[in-house]
Amino acid sequence: MSNGLSILKPFGERFQTAGPWIPAAFLLAFLVIPILALVLRGAGGEAIRTALASPVVREALALSLVTSLATVFLAVSFGMPLAYLLSRRDFQGKALVESMVDLPLVLPPVVAGVALLVAFGRTGLAGQLLDVMGVRIGFNTAAVVMAQTFVATPFFVRSARAGFTSVSRHLEDASKTLGVSPFGTFLRITLPLSAPSLLAGMAMAWARALGEFGATIMFAGNLAGKTRTLPLAILTSMEEDLDAALTVSLLLLAVSFGVLVAFHLVGSRGGADAAARY
């Protein structure tokens, strides 16, 4: 072609190789710097020890553990059957059910909190009925679990559904023709083979529950010992004890990082299993 273009070409090529690195590096720096800052500011040995010794932090930690584990338990007990139905059966309104399950993923958590409040709060839609029956939800620990479950369960359902779908129907059929009941087949074939996805889903749901803030503060409030989970404790202590806030933040960061690592480990093992299958 023309001479002008041949001069431009080396630059074009160089730009194509180097080009993507520049914005990518900016983004990486933007992601890493805050984490680094948090670690550097918070990671004084003495500060951590005092913060962990403070009853405020301990209370919040215990509450967070109890509520988030309860949330995972609920997500698994109710999410697994739903995930199985979504992966194996066709029924009317399936698309609608799917979007209802996915909705909390994109809904701002604060909105979720408001929605829960007008549904289950004392004057809410279902709350009035519950109130008559003597059950009061809202601004107590049960409300924390509900807020977390609302927000975190879809993570488990999505992952579990993908896991069930990855188990070939032929394997379940083979199991049934060998005399094993559908439930036995689920326990002995479907469950072990989708375990990596189930565990990954549990890890994600747990991490999401642990970090839940918006829905919790709207629906459950910020009551020490009752509804003040770790993220709420950060907000509270920001005003008086920055060290404690930093320590709690570090704690949550470590947990998130741990979940991520575990997720990758399980995920790659699951991948290897799937590859080894045939």
Partner 1 sequence: MLQLDIELQVGDFRLDVILEAGRELISLFGYSGSGKTLTLEAIAGLRKPDRGHISIDGDTVFDSAKKIDVPAHRRGIGYLIQDGALFPHLTAAQNVGYGLGRASRSDRDARVLELLDLLDLAGLGDRYPATLSGGQKQRVALARALAPKPRTLLLDEPFAALDASIRETLGSELLKLREELDLTVLFVTHQLSEAFSLGERIAVFDGGAILQADSNQTIYRSPKSRRVALLTGAANVLDGVVEESSEKELKVRTRDFAVLTNPYPFSKGDRVHVCIRPESVLLIRKDRRPSRNSRENNVSGIIVNRKARGSLYTLQFQVDGSGEGSDPTILQIDLPARVYGVMRVGEHREWAVSLRRDSLHVIRAEQPCV
Given the rule CB under 8 A, which residues bind partner 1? Answer: 168, 170-171, 173-182, 184-185, 188-189, 192-193, 273, 276-278
Query: Nearer to partner 1 by C-beta: 5 or 276?
Result: 276
For residues 278 and 274, what is the distance between their CA atoms, to the nearest angstrom? 8
Measured from the CB of residue 172, what is the shortest distance to partner 1 in angstroms?
Answer: 9
Query: Nearer to partner 1 by C-beta: 30 or 183?
Result: 183
DSSP track, 166-198: HS-HHHHHHHHHTT--HHHHIIIIIHHHHHHHH
**What counts of helices (H) and strands (E) characterise the chain?**
14, 0
For residues 105 and 118, what is the distance between their CA atoms, to the nearest angstrom? 20
193 and 276 in contact (C-beta within 8 Å)? Answer: no
Measured from the CB of residue 261, what is the shortest distance to partner 1 in angstroms?
Answer: 24
Measured from the CB of residue 235, what is the shortest distance to partner 1 in angstroms?
Answer: 46
Long-range contacts of 38-46 (CB under 8 A, 24+ apart): 38/246, 38/249, 38/250, 38/253, 39/250, 39/253, 41/246, 42/243, 42/246, 42/247, 42/249, 42/250, 43/250, 44/243
Query: Nearer to partner 1 by C-beta: 132 or 276?
Result: 276
Query: Nearer to partner 1 by C-beta: 211 or 270?
Result: 270
Measured from the CB of residue 194, what is the shortest distance to partner 1 in angstroms?
Answer: 11
Measured from the CB of residue 203, what is the shortest distance to partner 1 in angstroms?
Answer: 21
Measured from the CB of residue 75, what is the shortest distance to partner 1 in angstroms?
Answer: 24
For residues 264 and 268, what is the distance between their CA atoms, to the nearest angstrom? 6
Tokens for 97, please give them. Answer: 């059910």
Query: Nearer to partner 1 by C-beta: 88 or 176?
Result: 176
Query: Nearer to partner 1 by C-beta: 31 or 187?
Result: 187
